[in-house]
Every structure is written in structure tokens, then in C-alpha cells.
Amino acid sequence: MKAGRKKRKRAPKQYQVDAFDVRHRFAANPLQCVATPSARLILRDLEFPYRHWHKTQADAQGGARFWDDLSQYLEKEFRSKNLARRFADLLVGYLLVTENETSGRALRPLRPLIGSAPTSRPQRRESLQLLLTRAMADDLTRVWKKRKVACEFLIPQIWSAIGITVKPSSILRTERRSRRRTMGTN
């Protein structure tokens, strides 16, 4: 290198993130994925054909994007814009992973990352729904200070927005076990 010349640093290569990447990242670590602005943009642009939170099909024909409509519904229910946005991101990511609706690339099975449905037997990996339920319970507990209310009343309402029925009686117990397992205490 000649004297007086500085070596220029190369900018890191930017690679385009697509729905497949977001789907895979969300399945592996949903909370970290939702924290990424580029992943949130992709999640917020996704469309799904149904809107379970509307009473009639005519209500769902408003023309708003899926994420915007879901976020507005959650904001009305919980009166918190930040929680509504976070939960809408989590629910749309869940739908993206479970419905395999990404196009453009060959789909790879995500079952090892998603896990199986919660059971009474301890599992090596938590299911994606259980992980999201625990994160939602933590967020709701910070606001309402009552984990029982969050688990038995609010969380089933959140999941029902995308058409998933959960038993309110078992969520508190399952969430508590999940928290203990991940904290390492029994």
C-alpha cells in the first residue's frame, strides 16, 4: 500500500429479506424476529383470506390491510396501541409459520422448529403457540398486574382473533409450567 493512502472499508453486503426468511426466523425465535424492523415490515404487508374478529363477512370487506385491521381490533379490546401492535405482529408471524403460505422458494418443513402442541408431559422444545402465549402473558402482566386475568380471559380473546380456540382453564397452568421450565426451576 502506498504511503498516504487509506484502505477503504467495504460496506457489508445487504441481502434482501423475504417472507420465507421471516417465516424461518419467526419459527426459530419469534420474539427476536418481531424486534427486527425489516421483519416487522414484511409481517405487516402479509394478507390472509379471513378475519375472524369480524362478526360478518361484510365487516371484513373494509379494504384495510390484514395487519392494520387486526391491530385496530386489538387496540379497541386492550386500549393499548403498543400492545396491539406487538400482539398483531406475533399473531401474523404465527399464521405465516403455521400456514406455509410463502411463495418463491421451496418450502422446508418447520416442524422441528415449531414443536408439537402442548401436552401434560414435559417436552424438549416449547411449541410456538406456548412460547407466544408466555410472551403475551408477560406483556399483559406488566400492564394489568394480574397473571390470572391475563391467562384466563385476555389471552383466549387474543388467540380467538385469528380463529384459534384455547381453553382458558389450562392456559395459566401451562404458562406457569413453561415459565418454570425455561427459568430452570421446578
Residue 80 has pLDDT above 90, yes or no: no
The pLDDT of residue 122 is: 40
Where residue 106 falls (left for φ over 0; alpha for ψ -120 to 50; beta otherwise) is beta
Distance separating alpha carbons of residues 108 and 85, to the nearest angstrom: 28
Distance separating alpha carbons of residues 26 and 31, to the nearest angstrom: 8
| Degrees to nearest 5, angle at CA 170 with 169 and 173 | 115
From 110, 128, 124, 132, select the one nearest 181 (Cα to Cα): 124
Residue 140 has pLDDT above 70, yes or no: yes
Q: Report whether 88 contacts 70 (CB < 8 A).
A: yes
The pLDDT of residue 183 is: 62
From 119, 137, 139, 110, select the one nearest 28 (Cα to Cα): 110
Query: Which residue is listed with cell 396501541?
Result: 81
Dihedral pair phi/psi, residue 36, rounded to 5° = -85, 125
Model pLDDT for residues 41-67, shown as the tens digit of each residue: 999 999 888 888 877 666 665 678 899
Domain extents for the chain? 19-183
How does residue 128 score in pLDDT terms, banded at 50, 70 and 90?
confident
